[in-house]
Structures are given as structure tokens and as C-alpha cells.
Amino acid sequence: MSAQMLRVTEIEALSPLVKRFRFEHPHGAKLPLFSGGAHVVVEMPDGDMLRRNAYSLISDPQDGSGYEIAVRREDGGRGGSRFMHACVRQGDMLRISTPLNLFSLDMRARKHVLIAGGIGITPIIAQMQQLLRMQGRFEIHYAARSRREAAGLRLLPDLPHIHAHISDEGRRMDLGAILDRQPIGTHVYTCGPEGLIASVAQCTERLGWPKGSLHSEVFLAPPPGRAFEVTLARSGRTITVGPHQSLLEALEEAQVEIDWSCRGGACGRCETEVVSCHGRIEHHDHWLSEDEHSSQTRIMPCVSRFRGRELILNR
């Protein structure tokens, strides 16, 4: 995973829980351009721990002068977002990966319907800038609980085809009304809680949309759980994964070479073969198929855990 050290040049509170960060090259060099929906992985040296979190880029994809992200503080999370909020100061240097896009616009579309829930607005901000530049036909539907919490409102221009659905103002998002009667060539992109993504999938299925017109992204934080042990077939070593650590992080700590990209169960890079499994793999990823999940022959170490007697991986 290629990455470079970038300087934090701006920090701005967008809402009580969301901060915007801007990163620039220390010598003002241009950064690689990206496409709407791309994310970067931010490395956070937190004490003797190295945290790595993926964040969608919210800046203009055609602007190489800097990268911007918006981070929501998750007080119940594992600490990455708390670190960004509490410890990162303007002028700090952080290691930022090259952008990667797992949620790009489908260029076959004649119309794009972008649906965001809460902080899920972030990739859609960059997609919107790409669409504005290419004069694409689109509409945005952004759902938030309250105007105060809706950090995305600060990032969205006031345009007639950009709609905010604020539930405590009595304007809940009505997916049926949004999706019914869309013309052929419409593609829908959803980013937000898993419940929202599932609702869009159900609604489009009920309306008879072809599945290929659906796109979604959900980044999972590695869920905590009970500590467990894993045996590595190639070296014969056994390592322990802590309750708040992911299997991927434990492998990295043990200096096991492993490729990764999104660290959120979406990209498939860290897929690992299971040699033997006596117990149950707790799959949390969106990468493996249901059959692969139930066969317990593959695991995504970035988000999935294990409970049982013995798990041997081909690593």
C-alpha cells in the first residue's frame, strides 16, 4: 500500500461530532487525483499502537492541492476517530495512503441518484463534485436526525436537486417516493448505516429494478469481541487477538506480511485461506459470498473474528 507523509493544514468543526481535516504535501507538491467515492487510509500513531482507518475523500477529485476528509467522533468506537478529534493538530504530519475507489460512479448511467444517511454523505460529496464537473444528471438525498448534527449540510451547495431529509423536522426520507418512476438508465448509490442500504435494496427490488443499477458502500469498523487465538500454518506460531484488536492488526503486530487496502471488509485484499477450523468464524465482511461464509474456508482478517477451539490460517 503506497502512502506518503502529508501535513494537516486545516481542521474545522462541521458539527458537534464531525471535524473536517485537510492534508497537503509538506512542499506543496501536487497529490494524485482521484475519482468521486475514493477513500484514503490514515495512519495514526497512538502510543505504541498504529491505528489505520479508511476515510472517504470529500474534496474535489480534480484538485490535487490537497485531500480533505470528514471524521465523525465515535465515542463507542475503537479509538481511531477519538484520536483524530483529540490528538491531531494543525501542522502535524500523518501518513496518508494513495486514494483508492471501491465506490465509483457507473459511467453507463444516464442519471445518478445518491442516497446518504448521516456521515455516509462523505463519498457522495466527492461524487457530486465529479458530477457537477461532467454536467451529469443527478439528485442527492441526505438523511440526518437533526439540522445541528447534519455535518453534510455545510458541504452541500443549495441546489434544487439536492434534498435534505431531517427527521426531527418531520421530514423523514421516503425511499418509495424517491425511487418510484425513475427513468431507465438510473443508477442508485447508497452510503450510510447498513439498515439504509438494505432498505434501498428492498425498495428497488419491490419496484422491479435490475440489481446492476445498485451501488453501495459501508465501511465497517472492526467489531470488538472476545480475545481468541489463531495458529499460522507457515510458521507454526500461535498469536492472540485482543478484544479490541482486529485479526489483521494482530497479524501486523506479529510481523506477518499481509496485503490490505480498505480495512473494512469491502475490498477483498486481505482475504485469507482457512486451513482448519474447529469452532465458528464470526464473519462481518461484505466481500465473501454466503456460501464462502458458511463453508468456513476463507476469512477476512480486517473485520472478522473467531470463537472456538482452533483456527489455523494459511499465513
Partner 1 sequence: MPATKFTPSITSRPVYDGLTPHGAVPALMLANGPGGEALLELIKTDPTIPGHAHVIYIPEGCGFGKTLESKGFASYFEAASYASVLPRFRKLLAEAGMNTRLYLAGTEGLIGQATSEALEAGMLPEAIDAEHRGSLARRMQCVHCKGITENVTTDPFTCSHCGLSLFVRDHYSHRHAAFQGVCVDAETPGEIPPRQEIKA
Binding mask 69-88 for partner 1 (x = CB under 8 A): --------------------
Which residues lie closer than 8 Å to 181 by C-beta, 6 or more apart? Answer: none
What is the SS3 assignment for 311?
strand
**177 lines the binding site for partner 1 (CB under 8 A):** no
Give the SS3 label for residue 123.
Answer: helix
Containing H/E element for 4?
strand 3-13
208 touches partner 1 by CB under 8 A = yes
176 part of the interface to partner 1, by CB under 8 A:
no
Query: For residues 30 and 110, which CB has a smaller minimum distance to partner 1 in the complex?
Result: 110
Question: Counting contacts by CB under 8 A, is residue 45 touching partner 1?
Answer: no
d(C-alpha 250, C-alpha 245), whole Å: 7
Q: Which of 58, 71, 84, 109 binds partner 1 (CB under 8 A)?
A: 109
Q: Can residue 186 be called a binding residue for partner 1 (CB under 8 A)?
A: yes
Estimate to the nearest angstrom the gap between the alpha carbon of 8 and the chain centroid: 21
- Tell me 211's DSSP state: G
Residue 108 binds partner 1, judged by CB under 8 A = yes
Closest C-alpha among 235, 236, 234, 250 to residue 306: 250
The residue among 141 and 283 lying less far from partner 1, judged by its C-beta, is 141
User: Rounded distance, CA 98 to CA 96, Å?
Assistant: 7
Q: Which of 189, 209, 228, 260 binds partner 1 (CB under 8 A)?
A: 209
Among 183, 257, 289, 291, binds partner 1 (CB under 8 A): 183
Per-residue DSSP letter, 57: B
Number of residues that bind partner 1 (CB under 8 A): 19
Asked if 184 touches partner 1 (CB under 8 A), the answer is: yes
Query: Please, what is the minimum distance in Å from the beta carbon of residue 204 to partner 1?
Result: 8
Question: Does 243 participate in binding partner 1 (rule CB under 8 A)?
Answer: no
Phi, psi dihedrals of residue 80, rounded to the nearest 5°: -65, -50
Could you say which DSSP state residue 120 is in?
A: G
**Measured from the CB of residue 187, what is the shortest distance to partner 1 in angstroms?**
8
Shortest CB 276 distance to partner 1, Å: 39
Question: What span, in angstroms and rounded, lies between the C-alpha atoms of 5 and 124?
Answer: 26
Binding site for partner 1 (CB under 8 A): 108-111, 179, 181-186, 204, 207-213
